[in-house]
């Protein structure tokens, strides 16, 4: 075959390929143009809208029907909800149209110790002591949770089902969502509700399931269920435009949510707790000095929290740091928990100090968001032992004269006006007076 004939055949094949792909993409363009030009009227109900927005044209479907339950799976990107100061991911639409969802990130970290979920400190923290108090129960119904015990991922079951206001993720829900390859793999360690004897199933920072001792501290990602009549006020479920189901435009700090952000002292702070006349905040940055990030010791003496002892971190915080705070007039004295820990997180509340600037204690929300920082929680059996969040955001005990970074916490008055912002990290609330004087 001569070269001219080869060239003609090559040109013919190339032209055929070009025509084929041209017609293919033209047909798809026309198809989606017609599809998108149709005005879609979405249901106001969140459950129905989720089904309407199901990604039918993706290579891998991310909303899968499973015995009348619609589960988000794989790399879902349209199941974000903004609710009560937290970002959530929808796990599933249940058969009765209630919607079960989980926080995008860990809220704190705890250990199971010697009790199954139904009687554990984790269940108490979620339902009775801390987390549930920050939620509006009018939007919620009970969450059905699998508490089965199994020794292998080949034996996953869901026969023992209990109802809680707030729960954790079950191994069944994690695996049905796609496990390691799913949106639920968020790069953090966190507990599930399932166990085998004295070990509990957890998800690693790589998304793998494993069993570990019940004394180990892992992350807590609360799971709740919304009412079937939950209405969508705004949003389309994406990370940049999450579903919004509550009208929330606070005028003063009194009405903001735990988990929201505001700006003070030229940095961003997050709301940890609310009281009758103040709110508790923690900085979203380490303290810095002229040399960069401040690295210092807790004390040169013992682990008692004493803001009057000069060679201590608390003395520095309530003198040097406090004196240089730009909006010092907003800070009020508040409670900082100083109790020790020994197989029960609730012992941190057994002692406290009243001061202007302090640190978070273990089990408080967001204490694990930053690594290499001191907490106010001490070892009750060792007066030189202080608990620290390590670089991997896990709890460990160190000595009071070791060097770590500092993440300050404060209480501020809650009657301060909000003049702008929406309370997110990218748009924190800006505080000021009615005449916009900051």
45-82 pLDDT, tens per residue? Answer: 999 999 987 755 455 678 998 889 999 999 999 999 99
- Render pLDDT for 156-174 as a digit per residue (tens, 0 to 9): 999 999 999 999 999 999 9
Tell me: do 35 and 66 sit in the same domain.
no
Q: Is the pLDDT of residue 359 over 60?
A: yes
Looking at residue 438, its pLDDT comes to 39
Within a domain: 77: yes
Q: Do 208 and 266 share a domain, yes or no?
A: no
Contact by Cβ (8 Å): 157, 149: no
127 and 232: one domain? yes
Structural domain of residue 270, as residue ranges?
253-413
pLDDT at 414 over 80: yes
381 within domain boundaries = yes
Per-residue pLDDT, averaged over 274-284, amounts to 95
Helix, strand or coil for residue 312? strand
24 assigned to some structural domain = yes
pLDDT-derived band of residue 227, with 50, 70 and 90 as boundaries? Answer: very high
Determine, yes or no, domain membership for 433.
no
Which of 244, 263, 291 is where one domain is finished? Answer: 244
Asked which of 35-44, 130-139, 252-261, 348-357 is least confident by mean pLDDT, the reply is 35-44
Residue 436 lies in a domain: no
Q: 437 pLDDT exceeds 50? A: no
Higher pLDDT, 349 or 54: 349
Is 426 a member of any domain?
Answer: no
- Which stretch of DSSP H or E encloses residue 33? helix 3-37
Q: Is residue 172 part of a domain?
A: yes
pLDDT > 90? residue 14: no
Instruction: Kindly state whether residues 110 and 74 are assigned to the same domain.
Output: yes
Together in a domain, 114 and 98: yes
CB contact at 8 A, 398 and 388: yes
Is there a single domain that holds both residue 200 and residue 65? Answer: yes
Cα–Cα–Cα angle for 194, 199, 202, rounded to 5 degrees:
55
- 101 lies in the same domain as 176: yes
Whether 147 and 228 share a structural domain: yes
Domain count, the chain: 3
pLDDT confidence of residue 167: 97
Instruction: Clarify whether residues 299 and 274 are in a common domain.
Output: yes
Distances (CA, A) of 216 to 190, 200, 343, 395: 11, 9, 10, 9
pLDDT reported for residue 34: 39
234 and 257 inside one domain: no
Q: How far apart are CA 56 and CA 63, in angstroms?
A: 9
Q: Is 53 exposed, middle or buried (0-12, 13-18, 19+ CB in 10 A)?
A: middle
Burial 14-31 (b: 16+ CB within 10 A, else e): eeeeeeeeeeeeeeeeee
Q: Are residues 199 and 303 in the same domain?
A: no
CA dist., res. 387 & res. 343, Å (int): 14
428 domain residue, yes or no: no
Q: What is the mean pLDDT of the chain?
A: 90
Asked if pLDDT for residue 304 goes beyond 50, the answer is: yes
**pLDDT, mean of residues 220-229:** 97
Say whether both 26 and 11 belong to one domain.
yes
Which tokens go with 344? Answer: 């029960």
């Amino acid at each position: 075959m001569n070269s001219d004939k080869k060239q003609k055949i090559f040109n013919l094949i190339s032209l055929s390929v070009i025509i084929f792909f041209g017609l293919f993409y033209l047909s798809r363009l026309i198809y989606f143009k017609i599809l998108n030009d149709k005005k879609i009227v979405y249901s106001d109900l969140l459950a129905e809208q989720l089904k309407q927005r199901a990604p039918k044209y993706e290579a891998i479907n991310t909303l899968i029907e499973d015995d009348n339950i619609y589960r988000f799976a794989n790399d879902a990107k349209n199941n974000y909800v903004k609710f009560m100061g937290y970002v959530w991911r929808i796990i599933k639409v249940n058969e009765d149209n209630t919607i079960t969802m989980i926080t995008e990130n860990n809220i704190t970290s705890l250990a199971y110790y010697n009790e199954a979920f139904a009687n554990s400190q984790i269940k108490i923290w979620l339902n009775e002591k801390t987390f549930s108090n920050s939620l509006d129960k009018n939007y919620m119904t009970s969450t059905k949770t699998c508490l089965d015990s199994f020794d292998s991922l080949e034996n996953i079951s869901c026969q023992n089902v209990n109802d809680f206001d707030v729960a954790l993720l079950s191994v069944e829900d994690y695996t049905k969502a796609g496990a390691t390859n799913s949106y639920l793999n968020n790069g953090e360690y966190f507990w599930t509700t399932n166990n085998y004897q004295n070990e509990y199933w957890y998800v690693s920072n790589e998304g793998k399931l494993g069993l570990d001792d019940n004394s180990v501290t892992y992350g807590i990602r609360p799971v709740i269920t919304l009412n079937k009549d939950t209405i969508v006020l705004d949003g389309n479920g994406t990370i940049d435009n999450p579903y919004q189901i509550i009208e929330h435009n606070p005028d003063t700090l009194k009405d903001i949510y735990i988990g929201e952000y505001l700006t003070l002292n030229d940095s961003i702070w997050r709301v940890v707790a609310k009281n009758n006349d103040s709110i508790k905040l923690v900085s979203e940055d380490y303290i810095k000095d002229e040399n960069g990030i401040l690295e210092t010791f807790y004390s040169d003496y013992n682990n008692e929290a004493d803001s009057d002892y000069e060679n201590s971190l608390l003395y520095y915080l309530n003198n040097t740091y406090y004196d240089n705070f730009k909006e010092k007039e907003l800070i009020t004295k508040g409670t900082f928990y100083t109790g020790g820990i020994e197989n029960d997180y609730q012992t941190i509340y057994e002692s406290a100090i009243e001061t202007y600037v302090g640190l978070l204690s273990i089990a408080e929300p967001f204490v694990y968001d930053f690594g290499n920082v001191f907490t106010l929680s001490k070892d009750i059996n060792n007066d030189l032992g202080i608990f620290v969040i390590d670089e991997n955001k896990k709890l460990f005990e160190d000595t009071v004269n070791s060097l770590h970074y500092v993440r300050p916490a404060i209480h501020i008055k809650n009657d301060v006006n909000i003049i702008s912002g929406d309370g997110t990290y990218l748009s924190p609330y800006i505080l000021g007076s009615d005449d916009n004087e900051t």
